Homo-oligomer: A and B are copies of this chain.
Amino acid sequence: MSLAQEMFAIAPALGKANLGAAQLKLLTGKARWIFRVGEAGFPTVPTIAITRAAWDELQAERSRRDSRLRTHWVACLFKLVEKDGKPPVLVVRTSAVLHNGGLMPAKTGIAAPSAPEDSVDPNRPLARAIKEAFESYGPTGRGWAGARSDVDRSRQIVLVQAYAEGEIEQFLTRNAATGVIGPAPVNGHPLPRLPESVAALVSLLDAKAGRHMTCAVAVHKGQVRFLSARPIEASPAAELTAAVDRVERKVWTPQNAVSRVDPSRLGLVLHPRIKLTHDVAPIATGLGVAPGAASGIITFNAEDAARLRARGKHCILVVNETGPADIEGMKAATGILTARGGMSSHAGVIARITGKPCVAGLRTLSVNVAEMVCHIGDREFRAGDRLTIDGTDGKVYVGTLPLAQPQIGGAIGRLLGWSDASRTIAVRTNVETVESAQTALSFGAEGIGLARSEHMFFSPERMVALRRVILSEDEDARSKAIAGLIDYQTGDYSALFSAMHGLPVTVRLFDPPLHEFLPRTDEEIEETAASLGFSVRALRMRLERIAEINPMLGHRGVRLAITYPDLLQMQVQAVLAGARAASETQAEPVQVELMVPFVSTATEVAWVRERTMAILENSGLSRSDRVRFSFGTMIELPRACLRAGDIASMVDFISFGTNDLTQTTFGISRDDAPAFLAAYQRKGVYARDPFVNIDEKGVGEMIQIAIERGRAVNPRLKIGICGEHAGDPISLQFFAGLGVNYVSCSPYRVPIARLALAQTSA
């Protein structure tokens, strides 16, 4: 393309623009909308564009006292002249989409150049304005809206428009909060009175852009002329409503809607969130470990939380870290704020299960429980002060901010319905209570991919029963303690299977990080000793002996099943008894999938399989058509990935626990990562947090190796993903490429996964 072609009319005063392909490519930002609206036949203010390359050459030519290109430029300016032949007053503006980059605002009232030389002389108004406009893009292309802004600044453009008579009015194509089609008011300003013909412009722009636009027009004697438009960020709920509305208006196909909505923003619709009506600065930022926002009164213990809840007050439980003793407090609180721990900390796990917003690992927080006071940085807070936390982004604010409640309206349901039509990978959920299972079902879960059996013990009575097992001094005592769990477990499983009405349920064998289930404070230790009939001294010694230095890599998972075979037997029996009970009360057969966690060798799988199959055989259920039993393992250690071929011959399915696999592949404890993760992201060592977006080149290759080796040996191997990554759209795209059969995520992420996976299939 010659530089002469880089100065052209987007919307000429007379006739059509007739742009070449190369020119069409230059239409970024506002230029694009002006061209498209004009082409569609809506009255548009005459506009021309010039690229930086052309402008620079005009200036170079000028210093050479040449005028070849200038002739083209002057001819281009003549495209702004209407039928009356009078040179119009001019307006100069950048074409950028974003207006937050120090860009020059539109410069109006510029006299048309009276001589060709004036049109390029930077001492004259037109050329001066153009020069300023280019300069305002800044040296790094800040404010530049083209893709790859850093690469080709020469293609940045400036617009010159004829000045339009009449009032300049602004409006949105759709309501920013509700998504209802406009014209709609901008930033809460009153909507100006607009001629009816604006409706056609709104429809036109909405169809062309497929997103919320802010739009400027000139209204003169009831006539509307289009000036410019640029997209705006609407609320996730508004975007959703708009997408569904476009399908109803037949502007989009359902598939368009599915592919255009950003799944990561879908989650924001499903939780309370802070309405940031004006600039409120957070006082600190921790880790957002359980999404949603919460406002409330600061409390430091469960008693106060329960008291406030009883009085219908919201409270935020503020602690250094949480443990079993805090569960009741966490349930009573509206939100949780902790000084220590990460995504997989006790606080994070419990908060997500209970659906409580939680900010964890706020390192500037210190809590003095005894004195009922905490500090966040320099600021001191006492019980009764108010905080607002945002578990989505980890931000903490002083006082009570207004919150928006989740809107699970018809729009999200329709969009997800469309997305299911094009989705080939199943979406399950990670839950272990009937209540959570029902929530997940309402969000469209197609089964349970991970029921963490140890999470069924988060109540005081059961905690005692579990502690009795963990703290047993010898085999006999342990066997007795384990026998005491079977009734709980049978009932739990039966209820869970019934709740799922024949959808598959993957029960993971016991995998408690033991330390999370043990008493810690003096008071808890005394209570536990009393309830177990130990002396306090004996209990302390026992606790000291079983304390682990690295619990994440300790005596857990399949290691418990092999060292305590009674526990394995109790669990398998309880699962089977639960399945039998559920199958007697429903039409559908119960689909049970038993999963062995934390294996690193095929021998471990063989060991558990042999014992499990013997119990199954004894139960008579192996020949029942009322219970369909399958056996699998969780792959969450690098060695299990490498040995997946050996493992695959013994299992019906494998499910990748991507959290632990990320921890071991990187050698990072997620709980301890906050000490360096922020610095790593700031210094560019990690482009993305590998606990949020799957690390494709490391953890991803591990998974790939395992799938290849597993399927080579067992082509019918069913493959799933459970763990946080199963609810992350970027990660889901990667998993879909590996050919997994299903993913399983927390209930609130089920809709996100449904949409994200539909997009990968499209």
What residues of chain A have their CB less than 8 Å away from a CB belonging to chain B? 320, 339-341, 345, 363, 366, 541, 544-555, 559, 562-563, 598, 600-601, 603-604, 607, 636-639, 642-643, 660, 663-669, 671-672, 675-676, 679-680, 683-686, 695, 697-699, 701-702
Contact = CB atoms under 8 A, between A and B. Distances in A.
In the A-B complex, the 9 residue pairs with the smallest Cβ-Cβ separation, listed nearest first, are A550-B669, A553-B669, A639-B698, A554-B672, A638-B638, A637-B667, A555-B675, A550-B552, A549-B671
Contacts of A548: 669, 671-672, 675
Contacts of A598: 667
A541 B664 CA distance: 29
B562 A680 contact: yes
A603 B685 contact: yes
B601 A685 contact: yes
Contact of A545 (B339, B563, B680): B339
A454 B118 CA distance: 73
A644 to B, nearest CB: 11
A601 B686 contact: yes
Contacts of A603: 684-686
A675 to B, nearest CB: 4
A48 B693 CA distance: 76
Nearest to A601: B685
A359 B181 CA distance: 77
Given A555-B672, A642-B697, 19 more contacts: A339-B545, A345-B549, A548-B669, A548-B675, A550-B551, A553-B668, A553-B672, A554-B675, A555-B676, A563-B676, A600-B665, A600-B666, A601-B685, A603-B684, A603-B685, A636-B667, A638-B664, A638-B698, A642-B702
B555 A685 contact: no
Nearest to A700: B642
Contact of A320 (B544, B642, B675, B701): B544
Contacts of A671: 548-550
A667 B669 contact: no
A642 B550 CA distance: 24
A600 B679 contact: no
Given A552-B553, A562-B679, A639 B665 contact: yes
A655 to B, nearest CB: 16
A638 B665 contact: yes
7 contacts: A548-B675, A562-B676, A563-B676, A563-B679, A607-B685, A637-B666, A639-B666
Contacts of A562: 676, 679-680, 683, 685
A200 B431 CA distance: 81
A340 B545 contact: yes
A543 to B, nearest CB: 12
Contacts of A559: 675-676, 680
A319 to B, nearest CB: 12
Given A553-B669, A554-B669, A698 B664 contact: no
A332 to B, nearest CB: 25
B643 A697 contact: yes
Given A545-B340, A685-B604, A699-B639, A663 B563 contact: no
A681 B695 CA distance: 34
A184 B607 CA distance: 51
A600 B684 CA distance: 14
A637 B665 contact: yes
Contacts of A340: 545, 547
Contacts of A553: 550, 552-553, 663, 667-669, 672
A8 to B, nearest CB: 44
B551 A672 contact: yes
Which of A340, A555, A639 neighbours the largest number of chain B CB atoms within 10 Å of its CB?
A: A639
A684 B602 CA distance: 12
A546 B340 CA distance: 9
A549 B669 contact: yes
Contacts of A600: 665-668, 698
B675 A667 contact: no
A549 B639 contact: no
A307 to B, nearest CB: 28
A345 B549 CA distance: 10
Contact of A642 (B660, B680, B698): B698
Contacts of A669: 548-550, 552-554
Contacts of A607: 683, 685
A703 to B, nearest CB: 11
A286 B638 CA distance: 29
A604 B701 CA distance: 19
A693 B337 CA distance: 46
Which of A363, A550, A660, A701 neighbours the largest number of chain B CB atoms within 10 Å of its CB?
A: A550
A665 B667 contact: no
A683 B601 CA distance: 13
A668 B636 CA distance: 12
Contacts of A563: 675-676, 679
A547 B341 CA distance: 11
A149 to B, nearest CB: 24
A148 B666 CA distance: 43
A642 B701 contact: yes
A665 B664 contact: yes
Nearest to A552: B550
A188 to B, nearest CB: 43
Nearest to A606: B685
B667 A363 contact: no
Which of A339, A638, A665, A666 neighbours the largest number of chain B CB atoms within 10 Å of its CB?
A: A638
A639 B603 CA distance: 24
A667 B641 CA distance: 12
